[in-house]
Amino acid sequence: MKAQDQLNQTVERLIEKIEQCGTKWITPFNSSFPANYKTNTAYNGLNIMNLWVEAEEQGYRTNYWLTFNQVKDLKGQVKKGERSTPIFFFKPIKKLIEDKETGERVEKTIPVLKMYYVFNIEQTTLEIPTQEEKSERREEIEQLIQNYGIQIKKSNNRAYYMPASDYIGMPTQEDFLTPELYYATFFHELAHSTGHTSRLNRDLSGNTMGGQKALKAYAKEELIAETTRAFLQVHFGLNSTDMEEQNAAYLKSWLKPLKDDPKMLWKIFSDASKAFNYLMKFAKSEEVQKAA
């Protein structure tokens, strides 16, 4: 199967899974990120959701994955009859493209969709490691907020991000039922702030009062922010909250644009991964940041 056909099939499967997942927008498997067992590299973008879903459906106990050759390199074997899971990525390839105005052939770098296949370590004869369970790490969260340095203004009734002035409005932590709910809400607004022109420069012009284009841009940004929030909660080991249940039905109301444009789900998870990775740079201590 061609990479694009496999990606379309995977996206359709994930949209169906999101529709069925009840009170959650996305359901993180095992409160951990899928990673390559040999290289200890975490997967990004849509691959996170795809591997979460596969691990949950197959009942795997770990989120470690390897290619067929990596299993062989580690002196293991893939068990007979096991099915692999696709991983997608874009590989930059240089091509000569004819300029329509001048007729000249110009070399341009074009991202070409590629894929490879991985197996969960439980599908192999390799020893199954135990993944470390994460406990809540509030000190690291506060370190991230402090290092990130965005202005936070007291808000009495709601949490929001103001792109024009680049600040976050937040009620105090005491106004929330639990610290988990406070941080989950704050993570959502932090995610929005990464889209500012001085950071990752996403389209933050969407709104619910404009036309179809503005509505689609708004939906896309909300899904990016909520996915980033989920990534941050998994990383910091925070428990799920009632906020997720409240947001789930609202977020799923935006699934129609995803069905109309399957590439949009790829973009949402790609942008959420970029936002998550951008924020995680600030979770390090100031000394580590300077050294890096």
What is the residue extent of each domain of the chain?
3-123, 138-291
Spans in the chain with pLDDT lower than 70: 21-30, 132-136, 240-258, 262, 285-292
Which residue do the tokens 């000569």 mark?
Answer: 96
Taking the C-alpha atoms of residue 23 and residue 10, their distance in angstroms, rounded to an integer, is: 22
Which tokens go with 229? Answer: 């929030």
The pLDDT of residue 130 is 78
The pLDDT of residue 17 is 76
pLDDT digits (tens, 9 = 90+) for 110-145: 888 999 999 999 999 999 987 766 666 888 999 999
The pLDDT of residue 178 is 85
The pLDDT of residue 280 is 95
pLDDT digits (tens, 9 = 90+) for 64-74: 999 999 999 99
In angstroms, what is the C-alpha Rg of the chain?
Answer: 21
Which tokens go with 137? Answer: 């790490």
The pLDDT of residue 290 is 45
The pLDDT of residue 4 is 86
Q: DSSP secondary-structure letter at 126?
A: S
The pLDDT of residue 100 is 77
The pLDDT of residue 291 is 39
The pLDDT of residue 21 is 65
- Residue 188, C-beta contacts closer than 8 angstroms, at least 6 positions apart: 159, 225, 226, 228, 229
The pLDDT of residue 103 is 78
Using alpha carbons, list the distances in angstroms from residue 92 to 111, 157, 268.
4, 47, 20
The pLDDT of residue 25 is 59
Q: Is 78 left (phi over 0), alpha (psi -120 to 50) or beta?
A: beta
Q: What is the dihedral of CA 140, 145, 146, 147, to 10 degrees?
A: 90
87-91 long-range contacts, CB within 8 A, separation 24+: 87/43, 87/47, 87/50, 87/115, 87/116, 87/117, 87/118, 88/3, 88/6, 88/7, 88/10, 88/45, 88/46, 88/47, 88/113, 88/114, 88/115, 88/266, 89/47, 89/113, 89/114, 89/115, 90/114
Which residue do the tokens 């490879």 mark?
Answer: 116
Which residue do the tokens 């005491």 mark?
Answer: 174
The pLDDT of residue 23 is 58
- How far, rounded to the nearest angstrom, does the alpha carbon of residue 243 sit from its chain's CA centroid? 18
